């Protein structure tokens, strides 16, 4: 069987995880052929870890030009995602971009435009949480229309606790110049993607962010957002890396059901009739809509990163569907950028917003960014941190 010759740019925490899954035989269509990283220590580590045939490069461009790779995973800090994805597309190299799609939508729009010019390049986004059976089922239930329209969405995702040591583990982390944001750019791209994947895009965003509230960092580590959808529904999104024992509860109220994902399980309370019908017909002042719990059957699958990579390889070799098309990465980032912009301007922001204004506001913060000068890069044991339902 022909295997796809794969390169990885950035062999840090995430790149190593992908590389180990591939060399460990979990992605049978992919063969690790090359690795590029600007940090010589990471290259030395990789040489000692991976099979002899893997080739090493000190820059991404050298690897792209080497002719050794047919496909590439981009797992460097976010600012470089779009740049390297575009470089791959121009060379006909299939590309899988780590989340977030980029830091600002203007940059990601350019990446998507380049993708449109190269239909032969299979462009995927590492939205591994889309493989989770709970979120797939939520989407199926909401989008089937059987429960009517969405009335309210609430996601409190505060179980991203990170101590200061996490922020001190890399000089790019939690800086405007290195990362372009905090919890919204690093931890929450998955939820922001799922939120829009399941419930659709909001039309307005009003957000309150706190910067370095719980940590010695310059970017946001606490967020409360209110959104409005085109059908008049509303939503709230709350996140933080400061709650020691936080919560992950995603609740959707529809005309005829309440759907809740919490603690790795999904519950559906189905109403016997729509709330509108009940309210119109019922004559008892304090009555409520009769409802019953539904036993939800899912396929139980939660393949995470391996599932995304195997689907991508299947798309390249056999035209199979991707878990997430690369061009869809802009949606969650649009919400993320709108959250920042709303807080920076102190007002409600409509989508689409002024991307040039966002970029200029971001660059003002980058200009005074106190990028840590430690040059430090600590490679942490990340096992168990990338799965589950967050
Ligand atoms: N999908 C997920 O579950 C998930 C989880 C963690 C991280 N990520 C994403 O992966 C990306 C990397 O995060 P990480 O935690 O691995 O960071 P990291 O700091 O551990 O690793 C980044 C690596 O990229 C290298 N690098 C930096 N700039 C480079 C360049 N210009 N060219 C080549 N190499 C370069 C660094 O030397 C380092 O080895 C981020 O965008 C992050 O959001 C995704």
* CATH code of the domain in which 13 resides: 3.40.50.720
DSSP symbol at 377: B
Phi, psi angles (nearest 5°) of residue 48 = -75, -15
Instruction: Tell me, yes or no, whether 311 and 224 share the same domain.
Output: no
Least-confidence region, from 4-18, 80-94, 361-375: 361-375
Residue 372: pLDDT band (50, 70, 90) is: low
pLDDT in tens, 17-40: 999 999 999 999 999 999 999 999
| Number of Cβ atoms within 10 Å of the Cβ of 264 | 12
For ligand 1, whether the C-beta of 128 sits within 6 Å is: yes
Contact partners, residue 304, CB within 8 Å, separation at least 6: 128, 129, 131, 132, 386, 387
Q: Is the pTM of this model over 0.75?
A: yes
Provide mean pLDDT across the span 298-319.
98
Provide mean pLDDT across the span 188-205.
98
Domains: count for the chain: 2
Instruction: Tell me, yes or no, whether 234 and 220 share the same domain.
Output: yes
Burial class from Cβ neighbours inside 10 Å (0-12, 13-18, 19+) for residue 77 reads: buried
Residue 390: pLDDT band (50, 70, 90) is: low
Classify residue 387: in a domain, yes or no. no
Does position 389 have pLDDT exceeding 60, yes or no?
no
Domain, as residue range, for 295:
133-300+332-367
Instruction: Tell me, yes or no, whether 88 and 148 share the same domain.
Output: no
Classify residue 90: in a domain, yes or no. yes
Site to substitute for ligand 1 among 10, 60, 173, most atoms within 8 A of C-beta: 10
DSSP symbol at 170: B
Residue 62's pLDDT is what? 98
SS (H, E, C) 90-135: HCCCEEEECCCCCCCHHHHHHHHHHHHHCCCCCEEECCHHHHCHHH
Residue 244 C-alpha to ligand 1 middle, in angstroms? 25
Provide mean pLDDT across the span 306-322.
98
For ligand 1, whether the C-beta of 77 sits within 6 Å is: yes
DSSP symbol at 384: T
Residue 159's pLDDT is what? 96
Q: What gap in Å lies between CA 315 and CA 323, rounded to an integer?
A: 10
CATH number, domain with residue 239:
3.30.360.10
Residue 180 C-alpha to ligand 1 middle, in angstroms? 14
Longest dimension (CA), the chain: 77
Residue 171: pLDDT band (50, 70, 90) is: confident
Using alpha carbons only, give the angle 181, 126, 34 rounded to the nearest 5 degrees.
105
Q: What gap in Å lies between CA 288 and CA 279, rounded to an integer?
A: 8
For ligand 1, whether the C-beta of 80 sits within 6 Å is: yes
pLDDT in tens, 240-271: 999 999 999 999 999 999 999 999 999 999 99
For ligand 1, whether the C-beta of 38 sits within 6 Å is: yes
Instruction: Tell me, yes or no, whether 208 and 114 share the same domain.
Output: no
């Amino acid at each position: 069987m022909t295997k796809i010759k794969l390169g990885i740019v950035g062999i840090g925490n995430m790149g190593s995880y992908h590389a180990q899954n591939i060399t460990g035989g979990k992605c049978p269509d992919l063969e690790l052929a090359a690795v590029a990283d600007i940090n010589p220590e990471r290259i030395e580590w990789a040489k000692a870890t991976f099979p002899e045939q893997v080739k090493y490069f000190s820059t991404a461009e050298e690897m792209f030009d080497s002719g050794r790779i047919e496909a590439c995973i981009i797992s460097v800090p976010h600012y470089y995602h779009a740049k390297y994805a575009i470089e791959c597309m121009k060379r006909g190299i299939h590309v899988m971009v780590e989340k977030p799609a980029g830091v600002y939508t203007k940059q990601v729009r350019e990446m998507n435009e380049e993708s449109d010019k190269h239909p032969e390049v299979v462009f995927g986004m590492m939205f591994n949480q889309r493989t989770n059976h709970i979120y797939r089922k939520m989407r199926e239930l909401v989008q089937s229309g059987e429960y009517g329209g969405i009335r309210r969405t609430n996601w409190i995702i505060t179980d991203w606790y990170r101590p200061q040591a996490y922020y001190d583990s890399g000089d790019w982390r939690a800086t405007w110049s290195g990362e372009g944001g905090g919890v919204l750019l690093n931890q929450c791209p998955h939820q922001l993607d799922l939120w829009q994947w399941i419930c659709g895009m909001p039309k307005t965003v009003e957000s309150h962010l706190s910067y370095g509230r719980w940590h010695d960092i310059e970017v946001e580590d606490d967020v409360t957002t209110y959104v409005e959808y085109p059908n008049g529904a509303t939503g709230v999104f709350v996140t933080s890396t400061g709650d020691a024992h936080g919560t992950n509860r995603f609740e959707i109220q529809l005309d005829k059901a309440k759907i809740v994902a919490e603690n790795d399980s999904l519950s559906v309370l189905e109403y016997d009739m729509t709330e509108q019908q009940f309210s119109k017909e019922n004559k008892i002042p304090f009555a409520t809509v009769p409802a019953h719990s539904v036993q939800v059957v899912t396929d139980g699958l939660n393949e995470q990163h391996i599932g995304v990579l195997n689907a991508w390889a299947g798309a390249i070799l056999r035209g199979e569907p991707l878990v997430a098309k690369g061009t869809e990465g802009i949606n969650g980032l649009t919400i993320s950028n709108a959250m920042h912009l709303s807080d920076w301007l102190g007002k409600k922001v409509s989508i689409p917003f002024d991307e040039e204004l966002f970029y200029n506001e971001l660059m003002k913060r980058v200009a005074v960014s106190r990028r840590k000068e430690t040059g430090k890069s600590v490679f942490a044991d990340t096992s168990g941190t990338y799965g589950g339902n967050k």
